[in-house]
Chain A
Amino acid sequence: MAQVRMREALRDAMAEEMRRDESVFVMGEDVGVFQGAFKVTEGLLDEFGEKRVRDTPISENTIVGTGVGAAMAGLRPVVEIMTVNFSLLAMDQIVNHMAAIPYMFNGQVRVPIVVRMPGGGGHQLGPTHSHSLEAMFLHIPGLLVACPSTPADGKGLLKAAIRDDNPVIFIEHETLYGARGEVADSDGNGDGPLVNFGEAAVLREGGDVTIVGLLRMVDVAERAAKTLANEHGAEAEVIDPRTLRPLDLDTILESVQKTNRCVVVEEGWPHGGVGANLAALITEQAFDYLDAPVQRVTGADVPMPYAKRLEQAAIPHAEHVVSAALAALEGSL
């Protein structure tokens, strides 16, 4: 085990897969000479050269579409989109092509592409660089959607994503790139462990309330769980779904059947969000077990503001999660 930053873990995942499989290549805006806007692709150009680490023009839809075509012809492109917001320029390729092609051509062709993109607020990047659009991608059948919160998950999921034959949207969080975490050492062949899609992580066990968080909100959920334990005598179970499609709903339902209460925390917007979707699924599948409505903690329903105080006000914090959990627990403590 070594302490590794998220950006290094992601880089190592790509490098290991590129060493392992000649058909894997990386392309995106400033991924080569500049080494990535967030330095995630640092060192890749030196090791793999311009054929496999390709700087692209600023043409998001065409970058993704070129990746789709290359994937249809047998390559495994890893496309970096500089921020989640910019992926909106590629939505035609992502929704109408990348996600639809395997289905609309009846499985006669595969589209093994990974589109990586960082999102989320916290760096004062304002209303066009800070959004959390997991729910948009979650909405689309045909896509797999990953959203790692730790370096180990980042590496293991990205390796799994690259090997997967489905198109994958891989969402990273800008403020997690510098976060350190333990990552298992790679074996003698330079191959680290994979993290399976569709397998949630139970990060803390507890019997009073289930808290589901994703990306940076996993950390927020864990902080809230500590406060709940220390100050309110409530034991929270914290779950990181790690992938939204496929979704390990079973682990979440098992937890809810035990705790009878659930809080979902995400940075995205409330309407039609990840939490809204989870609340619906939990209500449909475990209604009889619920002692309180599923509580949602989300980002504020506004484009992300620039000013530091406003930005922080628009992002969920542990206090919000504690309040939501206490609301769910009302009368039972």
Chain B
Amino acid sequence: MNERRPLQAFTVGVLLLAAACSDQNELVAPTQPGSPSFQAAIQGTSDDPISLARAIPGFGGFYMDDRGTPVVYLKNAAERGNAERALAPFLRAQGLAASQLRVIPARYDWAQLERWFTQASSEVLAVPGGVFVDADEASNRVTIGVQRGASARIRGVVARLGIPQEAVVVRETEPIRLTATLRGKVRPVVGGLQINFPGLHPNVETFICSIGFNAVRSGQRSFITASHCTNHQGGVENTPYYQPLQTSTSPKIATEVSDPGYSRNKTGCPVGFRCRFSDASRAAYVSTTTSSLGKIAKTTGPNNGSVTINGSFSITAEGSASVGQAVGKVGRSSGWTTGKVTNTCVNVQVQDTDIVQLCQNIVTARSRAGDSGAAVFKGSSNVTLVGIYWGANLNENGVGTILAYSPISNIERELGALTTF
């Protein structure tokens, strides 16, 4: 059915969204790609063959078959000339001649199918197992997608509505779920999501990191990410943040408000280096951005590379992790990865800088660029927050296998006390 035109995609899409929204959890609110074209289609445009042909008496649908032949359903074949004229703008745009139009007999006219479609939609999608309803221009029927085992139930609904059984095709299909990923737009904002900041030279460079966790500090709704995920590591430059990316239609979600400077005078700081106890910063949300305190996006499973969101972790405590304990993190690049703590309170020099991060913890787990700022936690459902991930080794394939994180106690020592759940 991939030859079908946008209007039908919109119609089905709207119904699916409506169905999904009724039981969506708070994490699932992705932007639907292509929305502007959908909007244009429903308004009826010259490239929309259904809107062009719907006024023809007995018109029952239009589609392009597998070989690219334009096919029109007509109850009366004598209307072919009208159909050719009505569809001419569309056919021209496709590089097709009106003579290539193939006419097949319609049993139902389009207006009738649309009425049944509207009638069935509100009822069928309210019934368990109803997946989609489509005024199907390729079959001149109303097609209803149902989950396995729901056919009889749905046919009963159709009969009760008085829609002729022969006008309806009931087809078993898999349920369709909205897919939100760590790299898409998600509201309310939670930990683990991709953030973007423009850097000091936004025309040539931009940076991508992850949100660690949400926090409240002095009544200010905020998120915590890495200090190096600001325009300048150490020091506040009011770095603007976007989620997932800065675009002309994507407003700023937050502004950097806290990022203590690196100092040569910290206890334990090696000579010639600048130090801090955490690579962490805080950004305050703008009032129009919703956020969910205590939630970190959960992907489909640990260490499987997925960035598809499937629920959330709930922060129920803050704590520390000891050598040998398992911890996890969720970052926009590698998703949910887990591993064991191998070292605690290690001083780590950051490659090609004069920065040493004091008293950091080391974990054997996979990570990738873009995961910076991800929360590190213990547990797999209700979790204990233990820190912020900021850096890794790079093996010869460019993948991090040993990662470093700043313990939550160090973060709050530098950013101040935080309410995190």
Q: A and B: partners?
A: no
Q: Which residues of B contact A (CB under 8 A)?
A: none
